[in-house]
Amino acid sequence: MRTDTSQQRRDRIRTRLESFYAEMGDDQKIDPKTLSTAKKHNVYIYFFAGSLNVRCLTCSQVWSPMLQAGGKLPRQWWKCPRGWECN
- Of 76, 16, 25, the closest CA to residue 51 belongs to 25
* CA 36 – CA 42 distance, rounded (Å): 10
Going from the C-alpha of 78 to that of each of 7, 18, 24, the distances in angstroms are 33, 26, 23
List the single range of 7-11, 60-64, 75-79, 80-84 with lowest mean pLDDT. 7-11
What is the average pLDDT across 50-78?
Answer: 86
What is the average pLDDT across 23-44?
Answer: 71
- For residue 32, the one-letter residue type is P
pTM for the whole structure: 0.60
CA dihedral 37, 39, 44, 50 (to 10 degrees): 40
What is the average pLDDT across 36-65?
Answer: 86
